[in-house]
Amino acid sequence: MTEEDKFYDDAKKYWEHVSPTVDGMLGGYSHISSTDIAGSNKFLRPFIRGPNAKTGTRRALDCGSGIGRITKRLLLPLFQTVDMVELNEEFLKQARPFLGEHASRVERYICSSLHSFTPETGRYDVIWCQWVLGHLTDVDLTRFFKRCRAALAENGVIIVKENAASSSTREFDENDSSFTRPKQLLVDIIQVAGLTIMKEEKQIGFPKNIYDVWMFALR
């Protein structure tokens, strides 16, 4: 097994032992969920609502969706349909009861890692990537961004919401096999992938003992 294979395999094994609950998805920080969703809604809304909105609301993609916390509380209230892509098959199974009556508006439950996932060309108005990109190597993240760019509908946007390390280099978490990148490194990867940052904003209202969280709208 190569070092890269181990990196991905260790992450897969970690999530196999996480409970399929909101608290499990958020690593014990379920109390921040409402603040998180409110901040995301505020950040996204100008793209899809109001006089200057150009992005459609037909279909969104939730990357690393888990059981569908973001799908249920953010995307389904704003979009006609949502696709979910998630590595852990058990999370996707639990997504249906978690989403309840809204589950029928999820068109595709896709069981796949992001480093091997290619979204359909031109399919999505919004591609949402939150607290999952640290599970990709820098090279695979660049490639993933390029595939996402091709998957956008006209005037579509990719939304990235990720932790940012305060150090100048990546921080590796052996527990879940993930990287926390400094903000500038994430920006560099975005630019190498040929994407433009349309908007960026720091999430407010989170506990001071966790990483800063930044949101980016990309096209």
Residues 189-211 pLDDT 10s: 999 999 999 999 999 999 999 99
Mean pLDDT along residues 144-161: 98
The per-residue pLDDT for range 44-57, each reduced to its tens digit, is: 999 999 999 999 99
Determine how many CB atoms are found less than 10 A away from the CB of residue 31. Answer: 11
Q: Residue 141 region, left (φ>0) first, then alpha (ψ -120 to 50), else beta?
A: alpha
Q: Show binding-site residues.
A: 64, 69, 130
Q: Show binding-site residues for S-adenosyl-L-methionine.
A: 64, 69, 130
**pTM of structure:** 0.98
CA 142 centroid distance within chain: 15
The per-residue pLDDT for range 78-97, each reduced to its tens digit, is: 999 999 999 999 999 999 99
- pLDDT value, residue 62: 99
- For residue 99, name the pLDDT band (cuts at 50, 70, 90): very high
Looking at the domain that runs over 3-218, which CATH code has it been given?
3.40.50.150
- pLDDT value, residue 186: 98
Under 8 Å between Cβ of 217 and 196: no
Q: CB within 8 A of 103, min separation 6: which ones?
A: 95, 96, 97
* Extents of the domains making up the chain: 3-218
Under 8 Å between Cβ of 155 and 216: no
